């Protein structure tokens, strides 16, 4: 099928139809650049890089049989790369004005008659810097793919050949595409499984005509799949807090200064934990302290965050579309002791490493893409009722990037929340630092900066414990 008119995949269709007034299915990112960059220079760079991806020149057409990508004959780059001037108010910093505007932009719908993306360029942020706020609908790609796209826009970046940008689809056998192809050795490695025996078991699942007699590996794989499917279906709601409720259209965003990645790595090594364990423990501690300050006792409470897991081979991260599953991670917000909390997080993370839940969740999204919108909404809302937040952790470049000759000093992004989920936490490593970003429902959490400001103090508690350890010993 020509790229000018291409059938949208079932999973991407599910993300398209998940849009609501309260939660737009749009990934929002911010670049802070120094020195300043003008909107004309940004348009020139987008024309030379982003426009090599067919998706960014295509609009979406929905019909009875699903959705399709269609070339936008009236495409105008000026409609998608626009100049933005921040309103100035007395007593509010320029950075806070930018955060307020990003929250407004995150809640605004993209024009459905045009390609589903837009860049807002704040040419003069504070006399020395510029900001670029980017919105891209989730039906175009997931976060891992979009990081690759944005790298292609940076100085020295290069877009892949057109034939390699889209995921190959065979809609003649969508069941195989959705349910069986993810069960490959690549997907097994992506969700943390290893060993030839497991890979063979997954291959047998993808080839049901192959004899299974005597295969203990297949029996174990089958048992785990059934167990994980049941755990998703029977998952209880997480603890009620002020952060959980009915989502509303208003959004707030916040971000802080990055933590030094080397320091986070050192703390993790000293405590025999991963970098993720340390960061997620800091997130849980920050949320717990926020609730305490609001007069809500978090002791004994846990909240669930839906965490995306990449199912795309690493050599195909540039391919657009969505190839990820979701795993439910329970955050122990009620544990005040930082050491006890980080090991509780480690235990939960280890319990997810051999899970098939990401692949099963991918299948649920694919099925949802086939359903009419009311039925799809009911199915997906059942998922959203089980969680308080969506949380992503994306590795970025280790060195600062350049864009039109300017240095990209900070990178932030926020992923969309579905149903009534009112919080999105993003963790991005970039340029030797770890950046936390937060987007919240304006009614459920009107002051996300009060949570962001607690991330560093929670990490510093673990750092202090590390510094007090006897040399060479692990608690």
- Between CA 356 and CA 201 the distance in angstroms is 13
Contact 351, 197 (CB under 8 A): no
Closest CA to 187 of 306, 310, 276: 310
Q: What is the pLDDT of residue 145?
A: 85
Name the β-bridge partners of 59: 70
- At residue 463, the 3 state secondary structure works out as helix
- Between CA 114 and CA 105 the distance in angstroms is 17
CA angle at residue 76 from 97 to 60, to 5 degrees?
90
- The residues near 96 (Cβ < 8 Å, ≥ 6 apart) are none
Q: What is the pLDDT of residue 387?
A: 87
Residues of the chain with pLDDT under 50: 1-3, 170-214, 217-218, 221-226, 228-230
- Between CA 365 and CA 380 the distance in angstroms is 8
Give all strands (DSSP E) within 164-296, no chain letters: 251-255, 259-260
Q: Which residue has the tokens 């167990």?
A: 227
406-414/324-331 β-pairing? unpaired
Q: What is the pLDDT of residue 176?
A: 41
CA angle at residue 463 from 307 to 473, to 5 degrees?
105
Contact 279, 264 (CB under 8 A): yes
Q: What is the pLDDT of residue 370?
A: 61
- Between CA 199 and CA 195 the distance in angstroms is 7
| Length, in residues, of the chain | 475
- The residues near 71 (Cβ < 8 Å, ≥ 6 apart) are 3, 4, 5, 57, 58
Helices 275-293 and 449-468: crossing angle in degrees, nearest 10, is 130
Closest CA to 417 of 291, 308, 264, 254: 308
Residue 10 CA neighbour count, 13 Å, CB half: 22
- Between CA 341 and CA 282 the distance in angstroms is 9
Integer Rg of the chain from CA:
22
Closest CA to 110 of 89, 83, 149, 139: 139
Q: What is the DSSP letter of 64?
A: T
Q: What is the pLDDT of residue 444?
A: 97
* Start-end of H helices in 271-306: 275-293
- Between CA 8 and CA 27 the distance in angstroms is 19
């Amino acid at each position: 099928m020509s790229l000018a008119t291409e059938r949208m995949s079932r999973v991407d269709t599910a993300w398209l139809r998940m849009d609501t007034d309260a939660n737009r299915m749009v990934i929002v990112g911010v670049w802070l650049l120094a020195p300043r960059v003008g909107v004309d220079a940004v348009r020139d760079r987008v024309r030379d890089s982003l426009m090599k991806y067919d998706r960014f020149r295509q609009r979406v057409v929905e019909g009875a049989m699903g959705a399709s990508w269609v070339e936008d004959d009236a495409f105008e780059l000026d409609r998608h790369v626009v100049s933005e001037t921040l309103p100035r108010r007395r007593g509010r910093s320029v950075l806070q004005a930018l955060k307020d505007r990003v929250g407004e932009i995150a809640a605004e719908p993209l024009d459905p008659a045009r390609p589903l993306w837009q860049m807002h360029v704040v040419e003069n942020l504070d006399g020395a810097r510029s900001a670029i706020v980017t919105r891209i609908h989730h039906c175009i790609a997931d976060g891992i793919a979009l990081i690759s796209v944005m790298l292609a826009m940076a100085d020295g970046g290069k877009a892949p050949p057109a034939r390699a940008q889209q995921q190959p689809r065979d809609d003649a056998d969508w069941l195989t595409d959705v349910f069986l192809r993810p069960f490959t050795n690549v997907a097994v490695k992506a969700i943390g499984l290893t060993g030839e025996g497991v890979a063979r078991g997954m291959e047998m699942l993808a080839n049901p005509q192959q004899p299974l007699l005597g295969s203990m590996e297949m029996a174990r794989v089958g048992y785990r799949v059934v167990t994980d499917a049941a755990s998703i279906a029977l998952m209880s709601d997480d603890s009620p807090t002020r952060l959980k409720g009915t989502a509303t259209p208003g959004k707030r965003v916040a971000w802080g200064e990055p933590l030094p990645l080397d320091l986070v790595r050192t703390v993790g090594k000293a405590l025999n934990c991963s970098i993720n364990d340390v960061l997620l423990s800091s997130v849980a501690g920050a949320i717990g302290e926020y609730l305490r300050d609001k007069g809500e006792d978090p002791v004994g409470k846990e909240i669930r965050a839906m965490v995306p897991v990449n199912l795309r081979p690493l050599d195909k991260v540039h391919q657009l579309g969505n190839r990820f599953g979701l795993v439910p991670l329970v955050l122990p917000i009620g544990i005040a002791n930082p050491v006890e909390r980080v090991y509780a997080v480690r235990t939960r993370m280890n319990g997810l490493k051999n899970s098939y839940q990401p692949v099963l969740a991918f299948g649920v999204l694919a099925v949802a893409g086939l359903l009419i919108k009311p039925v799809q909404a009911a199915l997906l809302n059942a998922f959203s009722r089980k969680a308080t937040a969506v949380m992503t952790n994306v590795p970025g470049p280790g060195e600062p990037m350049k864009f039109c000759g300017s240095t990209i000093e900070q990178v932030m992004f926020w992923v969309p929340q579905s149903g009534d989920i009112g919080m999105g936490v993003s963790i991005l490593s970039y340029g030797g630092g770890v950046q936390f970003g937060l987007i919240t429902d304006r009614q459920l959490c009107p002051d996300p900066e009060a949570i962001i400001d607690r991330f560093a103090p929670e990490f510093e508690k673990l750092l202090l414990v590390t510094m007090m350890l006897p040399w060479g010993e692990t608690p």
